Amino acid sequence: MLSASGAAPPLTDLSGLHAAAASSGALVVAWGRNDWGQLGVGLGETSDERQRGRADGHQLAPQIVPALRGRPVADLSCGELFCLALVAGDGVYGWGWAEQGQLGSVAAARTGHHMVPTPTLLPFSHHKSIARVAAGSFHALALRHEGIVLSWGSNERGQLGWGGAAPMARVAGQAEVPQMCTQIAAGGEHSLALDVDGAVWAWGTNEHGELGGEGGVRGRPLRVPLGSGRALHVAAGRSFSLALVRPARAAAALEVWSWGSNESAQLSLRRADGGAGGGGAATAPRPLPLPAAAAAALASGPPPPAADNGASNASAAAAAAAAAAWVACGPAQGMLVPAAADAPPLVWGDGRDGLLGGGARVARAEPRPLGALPGGLRAVSFGATHAAAVGAAGELYAWGAPRLLADEAATQPWPEPRLVREASRLYNLTTVSCGSTHCVALGRCNERIDLCGVCGGDDSTCFLGDREVAQALQMSAALESRAS
């Protein structure tokens, strides 16, 4: 939700939270609750419901989203109860809860509420020029190829950046960022954009200092004061923000800056009494104190090359400069993800439901490794009580509350990240995004599935559900055994 899905990358694939390269063989899989159609498979149509004969709106194992099977999906992002998917050459598709306008004008009424249970094209005039999407709690952002930021959905706290007072918008409008941008991030009720010069712009609620300064709601973008450094990547949580910054001083290591609410130590600030938990807020952005090993990992890499005109060149400079790491936010968790495979991700903030690993379920200010989660992650995302990550080889990890872990056998919480073996065997994933009580991931069938013979080796025509694919794999293994 705003989850870490929150932080989409610059246009030239800055981080592991990148969108997959558009491919005609891509598939989107979803799991978790479906009471508002947030899985995109229709109501009462999860494979678990069909097999168990009950309509509890829940899918334990990843299920293919039929409407997007084989489509060239280039990006996806989940809000609390809705999802967005960018289909290359076509536009933005949305599904789930839509009462705040976050799915445009396509919502259908159901028992007095608005929902879209299957992916539906949002009728925006600029949709074919969109390069990235980002979902907040109840609003959405899109980044056009030329660097313009679009927004729609809830605007009760000015999170659309239009400067107007309308409570919501079902049609996308242009946020008033004064520069062309390379990255967007949507938080609970605030929004961030990274421009071509490395400046960060923020708008929306400022109740906890989410915008990096004093004052209340801001309906127009304000520049976040990050000293003389250049931001390379941004992420937005429910009520706080993070930025990866290259300081202006020569040979300095990259820094992680934070601002906003510190109620659960998500800014890596200790309580005033010295306790391990959080408290209060910080309206002035500041760099985090990082462990020596993390600081060393951020010290690698040359300074960014000079950028020519245009968002693509500037974004290429940012990508080169940020190759050492990227940042992510959960609702109240912060994460630093070094790109190196031997440097573990660091996490801090709200530890309820085991989201920080280590067995502790309390807030923690100190950045520490997250269990045995490997380095070099492609993606990570936090929901309300669960989290998921995609490893360097496309494998899926999950942790947190049961029934949201992409594993039918997970009846107890997982307090540490675990490899989801069946899903990792079936799919090679490129990114994952978690809503409040669901997850959606993007990838392809693994090579062994392509060779099962059922789809002729072309996963873009695969109409199989998860159990049918597993059966096809068993058939393939049996045939291989006979042949040998």
pLDDT digits (tens, 9 = 90+) for 5-41: 333 444 433 222 223 335 556 899 999 999 999 999 9
pLDDT of residue 453: 43
pLDDT score, position 218: 93
Q: Which of 198, 98, 109, 182 is nearest to 140 (CA)?
A: 98
Q: Which residues pair with 78 in a beta bridge?
A: 83
The pLDDT mean for the chain works out to 81
- The answer to whether 381 and 388 have CB atoms below 8 angstroms apart is yes
Radius of gyration of the CA atoms of the chain, in A: 21
pLDDT of residue 255: 93
Whole-model pTM: value is 0.85
Mean pLDDT of 218-243: 95
Contact residues for 330 (Cβ-Cβ < 8 A; gap 6+): 3, 4, 237, 349, 350, 355, 381, 382, 383, 387
Please check the confidence at residue 464 and state whether its pLDDT lies above 60: no
CA pair distance 481, 286, nearest whole angstrom: 60
User: CB within 8 A of 110, min separation 6: which ones?
Assistant: none
Of the given ranges (178-182, 438-442, 443-447, 463-467), which has the lowest mean pLDDT?
Answer: 463-467
**According to the model, what pLDDT value does residue 233 have?**
95
pLDDT-wise least confident of 45-49, 100-104, 116-120, 343-347: 45-49
By DSSP bridging, strand 230-236 and strand 325-329 are unpaired
- Predicted confidence band at 310 (pLDDT cuts at 50, 70, 90)? very low
Q: What is the mean pLDDT of residues 416-426?
A: 94
What integer pLDDT is reported at residue 25 of this predicted model? 65
352: left (phi over 0), alpha (psi -120 to 50) or beta: beta
Written as six digits, the tokens of 440 are 């959606």
What pLDDT sits at residue 275? 56
Question: The domain 4-445 is classified under which CATH number: 3.40.190.10, 2.130.10.30, 1.10.3720.10, 3.30.200.20?
Answer: 2.130.10.30
> Residue 227 CB: number of other CB atoms within 10 A?
13
Give the residue with greater pLDDT, 210 vs 313: 210
Q: Report angle CA 278, 209, 249 to the nearest 5 degrees.
A: 90
How far is the C-alpha of 260 from the C-alpha of 197, rounded, in Å? 23
pLDDT at 11: 47
Please state whether beta strands 139-144 and 149-154 pair in parallel, antiparallel, or not at all (unpaired): antiparallel
Arithmetic mean of pLDDT, 377-383: 95
The greatest distance separating any two alpha carbons of the chain, rounded to the nearest whole angstrom, comes to: 72
Residues 377, 339: Cα–Cα separation, whole Å: 7
Q: Quick check: 377 pLDDT over 90?
A: yes
Give me the pLDDT at residue 452, please.
Answer: 46
Q: CA-CA distance, 233 to 211, in Å (whole number)?
A: 16
**Residue 241: pLDDT band by 50, 70, 90 thresholds?**
very high
Backbone angles phi, psi at 24, to 5 degrees: -70, -15
Q: In whole angstroms, give the CA distance from residue 346 to residue 166.
A: 39
Could you tell me how many residues make up the chain?
484
Q: How confident is the model at residue 91 (pLDDT cuts 50, 70, 90)?
A: very high
- Distance of alpha carbon 430 from alpha carbon 20, whole angstroms: 6
Give the pLDDT mean for 154-160: 95
Q: State the Cα–Cα distance between residues 324 and 294, nearest whole angstrom.
A: 10
pLDDT score, position 201: 98
Integer Cα distance of 444 and 441 in angstroms = 10
The answer to whether the beta carbons of residues 317 and 304 sit under 8 Å apart is yes
Residue 214 burial (10 A CB sphere; 0-12, 13-18, 19+): exposed
| DSSP result, 197-231 | TS-EEEEE--TTSTTSSSSS-EEEEEE---TT-EE
Taking 60 as the threshold, does the pLDDT of residue 316 lie above it? no
Q: What is the mean pLDDT of residues 77-106?
A: 92
Tell me what pLDDT residue 166 has. 83
d(CA 202, CA 222): 5
Q: Are 281 and 298 contacting, i.e. CB atoms less than 8 angstroms apart?
A: no
DSSP label at residue 301: S
Tell me the mean pLDDT in the region 237-245.
96
Beta strands 113-121 and 130-135, pairing class: unpaired
Cβ within 8 Å of residue 347, ≥6 positions away: 333, 334, 335, 355, 356, 357, 367, 368, 369, 370
Angle at 96 between CA 92 and CA 97, to 5 degrees: 115
**Residue 230 binned pLDDT confidence (cut-offs 50, 70, 90):** very high
The amino acid at residue 383 is G
Residue 260 pairs in a beta bridge with 240, 282
Q: Residue 126 contacts by C-beta under 8 Å, 6 or more apart in sequence? A: 144, 150, 172
Q: How confident is the model at residue 300 (pLDDT cuts 50, 70, 90)?
A: low
Task: Convert the pLDDT of each residue in 325-349 to its tens digit.
Answer: 899 999 999 999 988 888 889 999 9
